[in-house]
Structure 1
Amino acid sequence: MRRVLLILGCAVLSSSAAQGQLDRHRMEQVVDSIIGSYLVAEDYLTGGVVALVYPDGSSYLKGYGLADIAGRRPFDPKETVVEVASVSKLITTTAFLSLWEEGLVSLKDTVERLLPGVDLDYDPARPVLVEHLLTHTSGLDDRMTYMESSTKEGMVPLQEFDRKYLPAVVWEPGRFFNYSNYGMNLLAEVVQQVSRQAFADVVRDRLLIPLDMDRSGIGYPPDLMPDLMHRYHLKADDNDSIFTEDQGVKWTNIPGANGFKTTAGDMARFIRMYLDSGRYQGQRILRQETVVDAWRTHFSPDTGLYYQQGLGWRILQKHGKRIVFHDGDDRGTESSLVLFPDKGFGYFTAFNDQVGASAKRAIRDALWELVHTDQVVRPKQFVHTSGLDRFTGVYLYMNDGQASFEKLTALLGDVRLEVVQLNDSTLGIDDRRYRALAPLLFEELEINSRVRFMEDDGRVTHLTFGSSTYRKVPAWKDPQWHQLALAASILIIIAAFLGWTLMGLTRIIRGRVRRPAWSHRAWIMADGTAILLFVVFLFITSRTTMLGKEVPTMLVAALTASLLAAVLFPLNLWAYSKLVRAEDVKKLVKWGYGLLVLAITIVLAILAAYHLIGYDFV
C-alpha cells in the first residue's frame, strides 16, 4: 500500500511540475495576438470566442468581434451561443460513453441489431459495429444533400432521417478511416434507442445538467436562440471589395453530427470534466478508465502515423507528445476543442466566418509549441526502400460520394493525389517530398506529415495520412482524363451546332436552301441539345447553389436533360446508321456526324459513371 501511495505521490508531483511549466500570461497573450491580427486583416475575421482551461480548473474566457453585424452585438464568452459544427460529435460521443460504461451497449454490437429498419447491407460476414461509428470506419458513403433543411418546419426527425436518407455502405467496415457525419448521427440514434429517451434529453440529463451547462443544448432551444451567433461568409464584390453575407440559421437534420449549441463558458466546464478524469465538482460523470479508453488508439493503419482515431476523439501524436481533439467546420462556423492530457490543459475556440479556419490552425500550432516546451525533435531516421515505382499512380479521396450524383465532386473537385518517383529514395506527393521510415510508412522532408501505403495481396491499393484515405485507381479512372474527354466532347457538340447554324444561314443568304434529311439527323441534334442543356443547367446550379439542403431545382433540370439524352441515344445510333447508308450524303458529312455521335457517346458514358443520368439522389 505504501508503495502504491509513493507512486501516486510521484505522479502527482510530476504532473504538478509539468503543469507549472505553463506560462498562462504568454499563452493568453499569443491567442489574443493571433485573433487580433485576423480581425484587422483584409480577409477579416468577423468574430469568435475562446476558452483556455488550466490544470487548476481556472479558465480564461474572452470574446472577440461581432456575433451579429447588423445588431452590433459583440461576442460574449458566457452569453453568446455559438454553433460548433462537428465538435458536436464529442457531445454525442460522451453521451454514448456514459451508457457504454453502464453496460447498456457494447462496442461490438451490430448497428442493425440496435436500430431495426436501418439498412447497412454490405456483407453479412462484416457487419457495421458501434465501434465503427465511433472510429469513422463504418464504410458509409459520404453525401451532403439532405443534411440540412431550408426551414425549421422541413427538418426531418432523427429516426426517420436515418431510414430515409442514410447513404449506402460502400467500403469494407472496419478497414478504412473515412470521416462520416452519417455514422455519428447513427450513434445519436443508438444513444436514443438504448436509453429509451430522446437524444437531446439524454444529453441534457447526463451531461448538461450535471456540468451546469445551462447555456447549451441539442437542436434549437427557444431560450438560447435570441443569443445565437450569426454565421457569415466572406465574399468579394465586382470591385474586389470584401463583404460579409449572413448565412441565416442552419436547420440541421443530423443533430448527432453537428446539432450542438453552447457558449465558451459552458465548454470550459466540459473540458474541465475531461481533464479531471471524468469528474466535475466532485461528481463522477465518466469513469477514469472510460476517459483513458476513449483517448487511446482504437483505429490506425500504422501506429507511426501522426493522426490516430480514438472513440470519437481524434488523436495527434508527434515527437513523443500528443493532443486529443475535434474540429468543426461548416459554412459560417469554425470551431476546435483541443486537450493536452499530459499537461492538464485544454481550450475551445469558435468563429463565425471561414477565416476562422486559419485562425484556429494558427492557435493550435502556437499553443502546441508553448505547452510542449519539453518536446525533443529527433533527426528523421530514413530507411532504403527499393521498388518505389509500385507506389506511383493516381489516388482518389474516398469521401467523394460513390453511390449518388454527388460523385460529381470527384469529377469537378480537388480529390486527386498523384504519387511520382523523384529518385531512388524519394516519392513526390502533390509537390511534397517523402522518404521511407519503414517499408510502407513515409515522412515528408520539410514538414511533419506522414503517409502510410496499404497493400492487398502484395499490391499497393490505398494510402492514408491517418486523417484521410485515398484509393489507387487505374489511369482510365483518373478524373483528369474524364475532364479532358468531357471538355473535348462538349466542344465538338457546340462546334457542330455552330457549324449547322452557320451553314444554314449561309445557304439562306445565297439562296441555296435545300431540304436536308431531318428525319434522321434531327435525332442526333436532339441528343446533342439535351447534353448542352445538361451543361447549362449544371453550370447555373454550381453558380447559385451549395449542396447540403434539398436537391436544387436546377440540378433536377440538369439530370432530367441527361436522362433525356440517354433515352434519345438509341434513336441517335439508329439515325446515324441510316445516315451512313444514305448514298446522297457526302463522306465528309458522314465523318462529321460520326464524330458528333462519338462525342455524345463519351459524354453519356462519363455521366453514367458519375451517377449523373436520372435521379440518383439517395
Structure 2
Amino acid sequence: QSMMRRVLLILGCAVLSSSAAQGQLDRHRMEQVVDSIIGSYLVAEDYLTGGVVALVYPDGSSYLKGYGLADIAGRRPFDPKETVVEVASVSKLITTTAFLSLWEEGLVSLKDTVGRLLPGVDLNYDPARPVLVEHLLTHTSGLDDRMTYMESSTKEGIVPLQEFDRKYLPAVVWEPGRFFNYSNYGLNLLAEVVQQVSRRAFADVVRDRLLIPLDMDRSGIGYPPDLMPDLMHRYHLKADDNDSIFTEDQGVKWTNTPGANGFKTTAGDMARFIRMYLDSGRYQGQRILRQETVVDAWRTHFSPDTGLYYQQGLGWRILQKHGKRIVFHDGDDRGTESSLVLFPDKGFGYFTAFNDQVGASAKRAIRDALWELVHTDQVVRPKQFVHTSGLDRFTGVYLYMNDGQASFEKLTALLGDVRLEVVQLNDSTLGIDDRRYRALAPLLFEELEINSRVRFLEDDGRVTHLTFGSSTYRKVPAWKDPQWHQLALAASILIIIAAFLGWTLMGLTRIIRGRVRRPAWSHRAWIMADGTAILLFVVFLFITSRTTMLGKEVPTMLVAALTASLLAAVLFPLNLWAYSKLVRAEDVKKLVKWGYGLLVLAITIVLAILAAYHLIGYDFV
C-alpha cells in the first residue's frame, strides 16, 4: 500500500506539472517521472531487480537508461546499449513486422488460409470456416492455448519451428474469426508463414528485412552466440520461512515458439525499431514498410464493439479512450516483464524491460504516468448511461476462454481464477468481479469508478459471452461452474479419506478386541483399490503443483498422477461389480452397505469430474 501511495503521488505531480504544456511533450518531466517510478520500485520491500527504458521523441532523439542489476551474482548492471534483454511477447511485434514486409509485396494475403500455406498443419474445425492469416494476427484463430511444450529443458532439446507446429499445435476449439483469445501458438504459426512464403529461415528473414536495415546489431531471434554473454538473468522473487524476500535465478528460457517469444534485443536497438514505426515505416531515409502498411496495422481489424477501450490491429494491440489512443504490446513471462508503447498522434514511443515479476507493476505505473503526460489535452466527458431493462439475462457465471480446453491443462480452469460472476445489483447496475457497471448501450457497459468497459455477446437473442476487448469469457450453466466442481471434488475426496480411516480403525479395533473375522475381501478390496488410486492421484497432483511450473515437457509427477487416475477408471467397473455383490450379501449389515454405497458414489463423482477436465489418461497434445 505504501508503494502504491508513492507511485500515485508521482503520477499526481506529473499531471500538475505538465498541465501548462498543453499537448507539448515535456521531455525533462517525462524522464524524471520514469526515473522516479523505477527508482521507487528498486528500493521497495518487494523490490525490482533491474531493467532498461528507451523513450523516443518526435524528432528522433531518444533517452536510454539502465537500472539495477542484470546479473546479481556477477554484479553486472543493466546497460541500455549493451545488456541483451528478453522481451517475451513483445517478440510478436517483430514477427508481425516481418510478415507485413512480405504482405505489402503481395507475397501473402490476409485472406489466405493457413492450412494452404502450411501443409501438414492440422487446423480442422469446419471446412466452411477455415483459419485465415488475418485470424493469426488478430488472435481470433480459435486455437486452444496451453503452456506445455512451449519451452525445452535444454538448448539441444529445442524443437524446430516446422516440426513444432505439426507435433504440438493445439486444436482449434472456437469458431475462427469470432472471438478474441490471445494465442502464442497463432503468432508462432505466423512465423512459419513468414518462413514458408519467403522460403528462408524465420530468423534470417527477421535479420535481413529488419535488423540489418535498422542497425539493430544487438538483436536476434533465438540464441545468437555473440549476444548470449550479455543476456540479462531472469529472476523470481520468493519469501523464505521468515518472510524475507530473496531472488531465484530462473536460468535461460529455451523457447520452442520463437515467433511468439523468441526475440532478444537491447533498449538502444528497440529505440530504432520504434523510430521506424513513428516515422511511418522509414529509418534514416530507407523505407522498411510503406506508410499505408503502418496505418493499416494500427487500425482496428477486430473488435466486437468500437466502444470497447481495447481493440485489435494487425499484431498490435490498441487502447483508445477519451478520444486518445496508443498502440502497444506487452510481454510477460517468469522473470521477464516488457512493454512497447507508441503514441502515434504525438510521435512518441517507449520501451521497457525488467527482469523480475515486480516489473509488471512498474510498467503499468509508467504507462499510466506517460498517458497523462502525453495526453494533456484529453477531455474526459461525463459518462452518458442509458436505461436497459431485463438485466437478469446478463447474470450468471462466465469462464475465461484462453485456458486449455482440449488437454489436461483444463485443470487450470478447475484450480485457477478463471471465472467471473455477473450479478444484478439493482435495476440499472450489474456487478462484475466486485465492480459496478452501467449500460452505455444495450450490450455495452462501463465501470462506474475506473475506465473499464465490457461488451456482452448474443447468439439468437441469448447472451452467450462477454468481452473486455482484451479477454473473452463464455457463459456456462451452473452445473459447469468450476466452484461447484471444486466443492464436489473436495467433499468426495474427504469421503474417500474418511472411508479409509474408518476401515483402518475398525480393523484395528477388531484386532484389539480379539474379534478378527475374515471380511469379503474379494468384493471390498476392489472398492478400496479404486479409492486408493484416486488418493494417489491427489497426492501426485499436489506434489506437481508445489514443485513444477508448466511450460516444458510434461512433469514426471503429473504423469504419475494421470496414471493413477487412469488406473482408477480401469478399476471402476470392478468397483461397481464388487458393490453389487456387497449389496446382495446377507451377512453384511445395512449400515455397512450404505457406507460403501456413499464411497462408490464419491468415487463416481471424482472420476466424472476428472474426465470432464481431461485428467484421466495421457491427454497431453
The structure-2 alpha-carbon separation of the partners of 1:517 and 1:377, relative to structure 1 and needing over 3 Å to count, comes to same
How far apart are the structure 2 equivalents of 1:26 and 1:5? 16
CA-CA distance at 1:9 after TM superposition: 36
How far apart are the structure 2 equivalents of 1:278 and 1:2? 40
How far apart are the structure 1 equivalents of 2:195 and 2:612? 38
CA-CA distance at 1:388 after TM superposition: 0.1
CA-CA distance at 1:2 after TM superposition: 55
Q: In the alignment, which of 417, 422, 439 is matched to residue 420 of structure 2? A: 417
| Structure 1 contact 541–554 (Cα < 8 Å) conserved | yes
Tell me, yes or no, if structure 1 residue 128 matches structure 2 residue 131.
Answer: yes
CA-CA distance at 1:67 after TM superposition: 0.1
Q: In the alignment, which of 366, 370, 374 is matched to residue 367 of structure 1? A: 370
| Structure 2 contact 18–373 (Cα < 8 Å) conserved | no
Q: In the alignment, which of 533, 547, 565 is matched to residue 536 of structure 2? A: 533
The structure-2 alpha-carbon separation of the partners of 1:377 and 1:561, relative to structure 1 and needing over 3 Å to count, comes to same
Q: Secondary structure at the match of 1:514?
A: coil
Task: Decide which moves more: 589-598 or 20-29.
Answer: 20-29
The structure-2 alpha-carbon separation of the partners of 1:540 and 1:19, relative to structure 1 and needing over 3 Å to count, comes to same
Tell me, yes or no, if structure 1 residue 2 matches structure 2 residue 43.
Answer: no
Percent identical: 99
The structure-2 alpha-carbon separation of the partners of 1:164 and 1:9, relative to structure 1 and needing over 3 Å to count, comes to closer
| Structure 1 contact 15–343 (Cα < 8 Å) conserved | no
How far apart are the structure 2 equivalents of 1:475 and 1:55? 53
Q: Secondary structure at the match of 1:20?
A: coil
| Structure 1 contact 235–245 (Cα < 8 Å) conserved | yes
Describe the superposition over 1:109-132 as per-residue Cα deviations: whole angstroms up to 9, x where unpaired.
000000000010000000000000
Q: Secondary structure at the match of 1:19?
A: coil
Q: Secondary structure at the match of 2:147?
A: coil
CA-CA distance at 1:400 after TM superposition: 1.2
How far apart are the structure 2 equivalents of 1:74 and 1:493? 55
CA-CA distance at 1:16 after TM superposition: 18
1:349 alignment counterpart? 352
The structure-2 alpha-carbon separation of the partners of 1:119 and 1:268, relative to structure 1 and needing over 3 Å to count, comes to same
How far apart are the structure 2 equivalents of 1:202 and 1:520? 67
Q: Secondary structure at the match of 2:142?
A: coil
| Structure 2 contact 397–475 (Cα < 8 Å) conserved | yes
CA-CA distance at 1:13 after TM superposition: 26
Describe the superposition over 1:210-258 as per-residue Cα deviations: whole angstroms up to 9, x where unpaired.
0000000000000000000000000000000000000000000000000
CA-CA distance at 1:357 after TM superposition: 0.1
The structure-2 alpha-carbon separation of the partners of 1:217 and 1:589, relative to structure 1 and needing over 3 Å to count, comes to same
Moved over 6 A (4+): 1-20
How many residue pairs match? The answer is: 618
Describe the superposition over 1:442-494 as per-residue Cα deviations: whole angstroms up to 9, x where unpaired.
00000000000000000000000000000000000000000000000000000
CA-CA distance at 1:19 after TM superposition: 10
| Structure 2 contact 95–190 (Cα < 8 Å) conserved | yes
| Structure 2 contact 6–40 (Cα < 8 Å) conserved | no
The structure-2 alpha-carbon separation of the partners of 1:11 and 1:70, relative to structure 1 and needing over 3 Å to count, comes to closer
How far apart are the structure 1 equivalents of 2:596 and 2:12? 86
The structure-2 alpha-carbon separation of the partners of 1:5 and 1:273, relative to structure 1 and needing over 3 Å to count, comes to farther
CA-CA distance at 1:6 after TM superposition: 44
The structure-2 alpha-carbon separation of the partners of 1:17 and 1:138, relative to structure 1 and needing over 3 Å to count, comes to farther
Gaps of 5+ in 1: none
The structure-2 alpha-carbon separation of the partners of 1:462 and 1:20, relative to structure 1 and needing over 3 Å to count, comes to closer
Describe the superposition over 1:525-565 as per-residue Cα deviations: whole angstroms up to 9, x where unpaired.
00000000000000000000000000000000000000000
| Structure 2 contact 145–402 (Cα < 8 Å) conserved | yes
How far apart are the structure 2 equivalents of 1:252 and 1:153? 11
| Structure 1 contact 35–359 (Cα < 8 Å) conserved | yes
The structure-2 alpha-carbon separation of the partners of 1:265 and 1:497, relative to structure 1 and needing over 3 Å to count, comes to same
How far apart are the structure 2 equivalents of 1:499 and 1:44? 50
Tell me, yes or no, if structure 1 residue 560 matches structure 2 residue 563.
Answer: yes
Q: Secondary structure at the match of 2:450?
A: coil
The structure-2 alpha-carbon separation of the partners of 1:16 and 1:525, relative to structure 1 and needing over 3 Å to count, comes to closer
The structure-2 alpha-carbon separation of the partners of 1:608 and 1:243, relative to structure 1 and needing over 3 Å to count, comes to same
| Structure 1 contact 52–348 (Cα < 8 Å) conserved | yes
The TM-score with structure 2 as length reference comes to 0.97
Task: Decide which moves more: 85-94 or 6-15.
Answer: 6-15
How far apart are the structure 2 equivalents of 1:410 and 1:454? 21
Gaps of 5+ in 2: none
Q: Secondary structure at the match of 2:213?
A: coil
The structure-2 alpha-carbon separation of the partners of 1:5 and 1:467, relative to structure 1 and needing over 3 Å to count, comes to closer
How far apart are the structure 2 equivalents of 1:234 and 1:13? 34
| Structure 1 contact 19–343 (Cα < 8 Å) conserved | no
Task: Decide which moves more: 551-560 or 509-518.
Answer: 509-518
| Structure 2 contact 18–376 (Cα < 8 Å) conserved | no
1:396 alignment counterpart? 399
The structure-2 alpha-carbon separation of the partners of 1:285 and 1:271, relative to structure 1 and needing over 3 Å to count, comes to same
The structure-2 alpha-carbon separation of the partners of 1:7 and 1:581, relative to structure 1 and needing over 3 Å to count, comes to closer
CA-CA distance at 1:265 after TM superposition: 0.1
CA-CA distance at 1:313 after TM superposition: 0.0
How far apart are the structure 1 equivalents of 2:227 and 2:9? 49
How far apart are the structure 2 equivalents of 1:311 and 1:497? 58
| Structure 1 contact 18–343 (Cα < 8 Å) conserved | no
| Structure 1 contact 136–178 (Cα < 8 Å) conserved | yes
Q: Secondary structure at the match of 1:378?
A: coil
CA-CA distance at 1:3 after TM superposition: 52
| Structure 2 contact 10–37 (Cα < 8 Å) conserved | no
Task: Decide which moves more: 505-514 or 548-557.
Answer: 505-514
The structure-2 alpha-carbon separation of the partners of 1:383 and 1:502, relative to structure 1 and needing over 3 Å to count, comes to same
The structure-2 alpha-carbon separation of the partners of 1:320 and 1:555, relative to structure 1 and needing over 3 Å to count, comes to same
The TM-score with structure 1 as length reference comes to 0.97
The structure-2 alpha-carbon separation of the partners of 1:11 and 1:520, relative to structure 1 and needing over 3 Å to count, comes to closer
The structure-2 alpha-carbon separation of the partners of 1:515 and 1:355, relative to structure 1 and needing over 3 Å to count, comes to same
How far apart are the structure 1 equivalents of 2:244 and 2:423? 40
